[in-house]
Each structure stands twice: as C-alpha cells, then as structure tokens.
Amino acid sequence: MSTVRIGLIQLRCTESREENLRTSEEMLRQAVELGANIVCFPELFTMPYPCQNEDHRQFARAESLDGPTVRWLKECSEKWSIVVIGSIFERRDAGLYHNTAVVCEQGRMLGFYRKTHIPDDPYYYEKFYFTPGDVGYPVFSTRFGRIAVGVCWDQWFPEVARLFALGGAEILFYPTAIGWLLPEKEEFGSTQHAAWETMHRSHAIANGLYVAAANRTGLEGNIEFWGSSLICDPNGVVLARGSFHEPEVLVADCQLEKIDIVRTHWPFLRDRRVDTYEGLLRRSLRP
C-alpha cells in the first residue's frame, strides 16, 4: 500500500521573523527525521498574526511570490527533498495583497493558492488586508501524491473541500491561525474548539480524503491560539492531534489506497445529484 508520511508544524510565533524562521527550520528538521514527506506550516508563520487591528504599518510585512519566505521554502524543500507548504502575506501589486499558501518541492515552487474566504470578525480584520483569491481551487501533483491547500477561514466551507476533492486531491491541508478571544473563552471556548475539529473530520468523511490542519499556538494580543493541529483519515479518525499550548511536530501516515476503499463503501461522490444543485450558486433561496 502506498504510504505518505505528512508532518505539521505547530508553531508559537514571535515578533522576530529571523527567530520564527530559525524555529521553523529546526522543527522542519525534526519532521524530516521522523520521516515526513510533506510538511505544512501554520498560516502566516513568519510573523505574529497581523490582523487584530486595522494598521497600515502591517503592510510592510508583505512580500512577493519571489520574496525571501518563498525562497526559504524552496531551499528547505531542496535541502531535504520533500514538499513544503507555507503561507505568506503576499504583495501582488501596489495596494493589492493576498493571504497566500505556497507549495514547494525539491527547490521549485509547484504553485500557490490564494485564500478565497476572507473573515471580518473581532480581532480577525482580514478584509482590511487581503483581497479574495482568484486562482480557484488548484490541486498539486507531487511525487508523494495529489495535494490541495486551503487557508484557515476556508476550512469552514464544505464547498471548498468538495471542490478540492473533485479536483483529485488525496490530502487536503489547511494552514491555520485560530484561537480563543480571551473574554469569550470561558463561556464559548470548548464549543468553538469542538466545532472546529468537527469540521475537519466531516470534510474527511464527506469527501473520502485525508485532512490536515496546522495551527499556531500561544498568546498574541487578544487571541490565545489553541494549537490542536490535527490529521484525519478518510473515515474521520484523528490520526494525530497536537496539544493546546505547546509547539509541536506532528506526523502521521496516509495510506492513499484507503481513499478508494472508503469512497467505494461510502459512495458520497457517486451519489451526488449534480442536476439538482443549481441553488448553490445563489445567495439565498428564500422568496
């Protein structure tokens, strides 16, 4: 059976880009030593989460797709002969910015995905910073398997996971920055976290693929990032789960032949009634 070992880096980010990259490289080395073939970092992993307020100074952190972070990702992928997934604050043009995940393999960039769903919630003011993505839902063919990458808020939308699955993805990654707002944690914290994990497990089940979410951890401003990075198999079984509070390297084996077995026994893709779904293209079906 074809087995791919994937790794997630659960990172605590600091103000220092250089320190974040040093820590990231050491944790990436650990993942490689554990046999990981594909490794994913959290969302915007080289910096503190920048969207807790609307601050024009944050745009100075943005960089291009041929900037230093992408060069670093390519170098790491070549150094260890693996696939590396990283998320950047992309400066596409003057006044045009994206939240972008980049996929690198053996020293080259295979491609990128620009975050499609942009939140605007307390301390997650991403609409101030990011333009919605315009590259659709690409699937990348690596020598280890076909992978797709959504970014954080995308993980709440079943349409995203389904489109990646229809595009041939076998493993779906979500670089993530999610946590508790401190005033809400006591009342809503356990429910919020349970809902988040349930979404990933449901994507895995409904689409018959592997799902992996790499989250950051630690307290940044008003957000306590809850870690809990996880890897799910096509039955929704959690193969690996990180702690709430500590930086960690997680690895798990993905048996790609299992995808066909699960989809044959739970034939959700077979039984889709695509001729009845026109309403999904509308905002509302209420008269």
Task: Quote the pLDDT of residue 2.
Answer: 87
Task: Please check whether residue 287 lies inside any domain of the structure.
Answer: no
> Which of the residues 13, 51, 90, 115 is marked catalytic?
115
Tokens representing 120 are 């605007």
Task: Please check whether residue 226 lies inside any domain of the structure.
Answer: yes
Active site residue 278: no
The whole-chain average pLDDT of the chain stands at 97
Task: Quote the pLDDT of residue 166.
Answer: 98
Tokens representing 46 are 């080289």
Active site residue 232: no
Task: Quote the pLDDT of residue 287.
Answer: 87
Gap between the Cα atoms of 109 and 104, Å rounded? 4
> Which of the residues 43, 170, 224, 248 is marked catalytic?
43
Q: What is the pLDDT of residues 264-279, one digit of tens each?
A: 999 999 999 999 999 9
Gap between the Cα atoms of 186 and 180, Å rounded? 9
The band of 27, judged by pLDDT with boundaries at 50, 70 and 90, is very high
Task: Quote the pLDDT of residue 282.
Answer: 94
> Which of the residues 13, 76, 104, 152 is marked catalytic?
152
Range of the structural domain that residue 47 is part of: 3-281
Residue type, position 161, single letter = A
Task: Please check whether residue 246 lies inside any domain of the structure.
Answer: yes
Q: What is the pLDDT of residues 79-103, one digit of tens each?
A: 999 999 999 999 999 999 999 999 9
Task: Please check whether residue 286 lies inside any domain of the structure.
Answer: no
Q: At what angle do helices 68-80 and 17-33 cross, to 10 degrees?
A: 20
Q: What is the pLDDT of residues 92-148, one digit of tens each?
A: 999 999 999 999 999 999 999 999 999 999 999 999 999 999 999 999 999 999 999
Active site residue 115: yes
Q: List the CATH number of the domain containing 95.
A: 3.60.110.10
Please report the DSSP string for 137-204 in residue order. Answer: ---EEETTEEEEE--GGGGG-HHHHHHHHHTT-SEEEEEE--EEETTTHHHHHHHHHHHHHHHHHHHH
Q: In degrees to the nearest 10, what's the CA dihedral of 237, 241, 244, 249? A: -160
Q: How many domains does the chain have?
A: 1
Task: Quote the pLDDT of residue 1.
Answer: 60
Q: CA triplet 62, 63, 64: central angle to 5 degrees?
A: 140
Task: Please check whether residue 46 lies inside any domain of the structure.
Answer: yes
Task: Quote the pLDDT of residue 275.
Answer: 96
Mean pLDDT of 173-179: 98
